Chain A
């Protein structure tokens, strides 16, 4: 089970407390963690080596050893480098000065070329072009047929003079298609070629011949986001063979970490231009290097989460809740129900929790998480009277017994839920009060952290609390949440008294000194430390 890089590095740097500088051994340990994180994300080994070499150099320099929180600083460097490679030169499609613009697709079998051809046509159409699809995959049974159907869905004309299934000459088809496009006034021609292996010289030669026959303005290399170490060899072979000008990452809607993106971008120096993210013809987007970097580093995908939230939440309800919270009223179980309805619409709870940054360390727990737990909680809440929902304080023993009966569960379950709810309520309250998020009931009822008041903004506040949580777990934790919290407090106090606690700040995605106010742009990274505790 791998934790997010951020968490791992923090663990590595935990032992450095009090040391002013990073020793070479410390840096080595850090580099090992980075190497492992990248390999786990399927970044190819040679690329990992080159990459860690660069990180090492920068990590040994002043910018890290001088930093307040070296761990976070290193994460930042890694992130910067990643974004640098992935998106150093993001660009748009090159269109020919004199139409038609020719786009050729190439890649391994099953990478998703034909599907992408349809998506690309659909997208170009929405941009006001008149694309034409060319069926030059005459190899795979019924690939021509598939392209025709895909073209129909995309509302694009398909040029398919040959039946396929091994019949016909793809080079001839490609050559002819240009004339056809000119005569029919199509301004973009998309040539779908057969999937081929990098080591298949004959077919690579054929691809090269198609390339020289149609002289494309763009050659897009389609690569599966799930590909492993083979990415480098494949990319190099295709670069040699067809000299592609851009890369499309397909099947990004899967849960692979997509290290291949980094491998290909680094090895070939070609930009990744598009991402294909689903089976529907509209699931096609421009590539976001920063999101990809976060994904490779397992930082969670908060942007996607937000996008989904925006789509699925009832705006009015949220506005109401916002007002309520701001006016200092308590978040009650009615709000909880409405929010939950919205969350349910967003899809599986597991998936969503998985998208939260730092959650990957709970992967095992998440895997064990029973989706129906949500329904059980809902059943309990729905078994309450409206009065009880808006004022949970009135819940006494007999009411609880009734609720348990109504929900088909035990009083203990009801009690547990109420306990958690009280904690969440507390958290809400403190959030509205101080802008920070101190008492997170993560490890079970966290009290206000020492020094919390001085925290600059919500972002850093959010990062602060897990530090406490971790401390709580570390020293002979107690099974009793309240007691554990107490211990955490004591431990934290001790530490705060001794030195300026570097662990706390190491969680920060934002440098505490610099960011005086909460900058939402920092949110994704800032969230990187949400649940970093709980190491085993």
Chain B
């Protein structure tokens, strides 16, 4: 390495500083502000907790007055432990430890942690989950690893939230077709997923139109039309290298003219750190619904996530969410040994539900996502 290169780096650093220091300073300032605010929050919570206790006591009294039925001793103990667990005083902690010795040994905890990490849940969410679980175990005084697993299952299911709406937006507004855009990184299984969704929709007696907006990868459009032909669905396509946004536009235009119920648009795979490609995707999304007139937003943007993906899945979800505001996730390749635990983290952070799961290369290997089933497989 010779002098000029070093100089280049230096120049880069200089520039990074000239521009970058600004950020760091500003962020620092903001952080400071945050800290200050947090300080106040802490004070407020302090007061609140006192209020809480008072309120709880009040409530207890009221209950006692009203029904005269004393609470069960077991649950009273649980409540006491709960309060102790929340208290921050050393005495409270000590008391809690005395009251509820956690008899599970470290290896049992480690095993639980390993299960989650091996399922790609990620270190941070795992640690958080396990910590919360430890607390609950202390509160409930559980000693049995099996029961703890049950608790973990509960926690996970709660995290995945079975009550979320996981249905596809497959009915358009005001007679217009519903437009579904499918996005994801290379090789996640977008085209296959589009083909499978088309089959499901056709089986539901919906008229479907496919848009092959993957004009980049060799033979992607052919792959999609092969899927379409199998179920008698038409595919709108243009020559290789055409503007994907224009393909999406034409597809929606045609869908509207034909009175289709759903227009499914397949896009080219792109790694989330390619900014130009992400911008292109933003354009596809903007342009796609233009034939439908003002105010008609795209109905569904599905991110296809490969279950084998590790911690990078989080980054993918974040960036795609930023670029095209994803409304659902399709978790593919769950028929392998991978568990796809990263979606737990994704859902926790972004609140985007997994709507469908892909279970293989067979034409009908697409299933709706169920929280319980997923969690059970995760802990398997």
Q: Which residues of A come within 8 Å of B, CB atoms?
A: 36, 39-42, 45, 108-112, 139-143, 145-146, 148-150, 153, 165, 197-199, 224, 226-231, 233-234, 237, 251, 253-257, 259-260, 279, 302, 305-306, 309-310, 313, 315, 318-319, 321-322, 325, 331, 336, 339-340, 342-343, 347-349, 351-353, 356, 362, 364-366, 368-369, 373-374, 377, 416-417, 420-421, 423-424, 427-428, 431, 437, 440-442, 444, 458, 479, 481, 520-521, 523, 530, 534, 536
Contact = CB atoms under 8 A, between A and B. Distances in A.
A418 to B, nearest CB: 10
Contacts of B216: 279
A328 to B, nearest CB: 15
B185 A254 contact: yes
Contacts of B310: 42, 226-229, 231, 256, 259-260
B9 A520 contact: no
A140 B123 CA distance: 35
B131 interface: no
13 contacts: A41-B311, A145-B223, A226-B185, A226-B310, A228-B311, A228-B338, A234-B337, A255-B271, A256-B312, A318-B8, A365-B24, A444-B25, A479-B29
A429 to B, nearest CB: 11
Interface string B14-25: 111111111111
Given A229-B118, A305-B9, A520-B1, A254 B271 contact: yes
Given A141-B223, A142-B223, A318-B11, A444 B21 contact: yes
Q: Which 6 A-B pairs have the closest CB atoms?
A: A228-B310, A110-B187, A42-B310, A149-B218, A256-B312, A146-B219
A341 B33 CA distance: 35
A525 B220 CA distance: 42
B261 interface: no
B68 to A, nearest CB: 52
B273 A255 contact: yes
Contacts of A351: 273, 275
A224 B308 contact: yes
A306 B8 contact: yes
Contacts of A315: 4
Interface size class of B (residues with CB under 8 A): 35 or more
A306 B5 contact: yes
Interface of B: 1, 3-25, 27, 29, 31-32, 114, 117-120, 122-123, 185-189, 192, 195, 216-220, 222-223, 226-227, 240, 271-275, 306-313, 315, 333, 335-339, 341-342, 361
Given A279-B186, A318-B7, 10 more contacts: A42-B312, A142-B219, A229-B120, A230-B337, A251-B186, A365-B27, A374-B19, A442-B17, A444-B21, A479-B32
B109 to A, nearest CB: 14
Given A352-B12, A374-B19, A140 B312 contact: no
B21 A523 contact: no
Nearest to B275: A348
Contacts of B308: 108, 224, 226-228, 230-231, 234
A484 B10 CA distance: 25
B8 A109 contact: no
Contact of A109 (B118, B189, B226): B189
A48 to B, nearest CB: 9
Contact residues of B: prevailing secondary structure: helix
B14 to A, nearest CB: 5
A193 to B, nearest CB: 14
Contact of A331 (B3, B4, B14, B227): B14
A153 B272 CA distance: 25
Contact of B11 (A257, A321, A348, A374): A321
Residue among A256, A356, A479 facing the most chain B CB atoms (10 A cut-off): A256
Contacts of A534: 24
A522 to B, nearest CB: 10
Contact of B189 (A110, A364, A416): A110
Contact of A362 (B15, B24, B122): B24
Contacts of A416: 22
A420 B17 contact: yes
Contacts of B117: 39, 45, 229
Contacts of B188: 110
Residue among A42, A233, A253 facing the most chain B CB atoms (10 A cut-off): A42
B224 to A, nearest CB: 8
Contacts of B6: 458, 520, 523
A165 B222 CA distance: 11
Contact of A224 (B187, B220, B341, B361): B187
Nearest to A226: B312
Contact of A251 (B24, B185, B315): B185
Nearest to B310: A228
A100 to B, nearest CB: 24
Contact of B309 (A139, A142, A226, A369): A226
Given A110-B333, A142-B223, A310 B8 contact: yes
B311 A442 contact: no
Contact of B315 (A140, A255, A305, A427): A255
Contacts of B122: 39-40
A536 B31 CA distance: 10
Contacts of B186: 110, 112, 251, 279
Contacts of A229: 117-120, 310, 338
Contact of B227 (A141, A279, A441): A141
A197 B335 contact: yes
B149 to A, nearest CB: 18
Nearest to A317: B11
